[in-house]
Amino acid sequence: MKEITDATFDADVLQSAKPVLIDFWAEWCGPCKQIAPALEEISAELGDKVVIAKVNIDDNPMTPSKYGVRGIPTLMIFINGQPAAVKIGALPKNKLQEWVESSI
């Protein structure tokens, strides 16, 4: 999965030709670590349809604040440079995958 920073967000997410799922996370967040393996698997399975990337909110505070991220994990799907879907909290892999596939 790709690491996105405040500096690369515009180029990597807003200008992406594919939908991009952003996982807003932090090192200290237990549920964030819990969903990471599921996101890796979904990335491997749907990699041709969607880019799955992470933004560490501690290292990159501007982007989460711009998009109103208040709790983590927050998953946000961007399509054509616009937020198209949001999920907050940890979900099992099958629910995450259903949400991603129905959103892109």
**φ and ψ at 79, to 5 degrees?**
-125, 125
Told to judge if 29 belongs to the known catalytic residues of this protein, a careful annotator would answer: yes
Q: How many CB atoms lie within 10 A of CB 70?
A: 9
Told to judge if 40 belongs to the known catalytic residues of this protein, a careful annotator would answer: no
Nearest to 88 by CA among 98, 104, 76: 76
> Pick the catalytic residue: 4, 21, 29, 100?
29
| Orientation of helix 30-46 relative to helix 93-103, angle to 10° | 50
User: Alpha-carbon distance 34 to 92, whole Å?
Assistant: 9
> Pick the catalytic residue: 32, 52, 75, 91?
32
Active site residues: 29, 32
